[in-house]
């Protein structure tokens, strides 16, 4: 290769680098608390029951170009959990179950996002992470969906809706009290809205 051709090649490469757009990176989003609901279900004496638990903190980062690079850490406030049946709340927070006095929070930290068909989070995606309950950490996988607001343009991503569903066995975390009355499985139904931080 002649010196002139080598110089032209170097110049072309430098031009390509200069014009290549910077890869997107995760950007911070904040939770719209008034539009967020953390709901759970359980069986009490064979009958389905429901409850809610508020979010204490949420650290959410979304990479809109490579959604699998997004991440989130969410902390729930166990002490403010509510159940549809008021008399079920105290046993739920007792040392035999959630032990809210010693473990006032539940923490979820995402570790992997698997995209659904067509590389989307709105169709068959899942999010895997570490869930810490009563100081015990176990992996959990949730079905995930991420949507932009209806009627908005494809590139309008300042506000997004999230829907997560899944289940866990409370005995895996040592929350085994009242097993004669309460079933082992707890269903999760999480709906949230997030807004890009400015």
Domains of the chain: 24-196 (2.40.128.110)
End-to-end CA distance of the chain: 51
pLDDT tops 70 at residue 132: yes
pTM: predicted TM-score of the whole model, two decimal places: 0.83
- Average pLDDT across the chain, whole number: 87
60 pLDDT tier (thresholds 50, 70, 90) = very high
Query: pLDDT for 14-33, tens place per residue?
Result: 333 333 344 568 999 999 98
Query: Residue 13: is its pLDDT beyond 50?
Result: no
């Amino acid at each position: 290769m002649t010196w002139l051709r080598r110089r032209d090649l170097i110049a072309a490469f430098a031009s390509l680098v200069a014009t290549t757009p910077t890869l997107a990176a995760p950007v911070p989003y904040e939770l719209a608390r008034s539009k967020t609901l953390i709901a759970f279900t359980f069986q009490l004496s064979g009958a389905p029951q429901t409850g809610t638990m508020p979010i204490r903190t949420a650290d959410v980062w979304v990479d809109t170009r490579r959604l699998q690079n997004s991440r989130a850490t969410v902390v729930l406030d166990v002490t403010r959990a509510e159940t549809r049946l008021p008399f079920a709340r105290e046993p739920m927070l007792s040392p035999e179950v959630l032990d809210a006095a010693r473990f006032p929070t539940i923490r979820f930290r995402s570790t992997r996002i698997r995209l659904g068909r067509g590389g989307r989070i709105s169709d068959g995606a899942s999010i895997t992470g570490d869930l810490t309950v009563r100081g015990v950490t176990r992996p959990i996988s949730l079905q995930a969906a991420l949507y932009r607001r209806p009627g908005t343009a494809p590139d309008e991503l300042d506000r997004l809706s999230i829907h997560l569903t899944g289940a866990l066995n409370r005995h895996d975390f040592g929350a085994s009290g009242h097993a004669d009355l309460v079933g082992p499985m707890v269903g999760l139904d999480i709906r949230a809205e997030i807004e890009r931080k400015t």
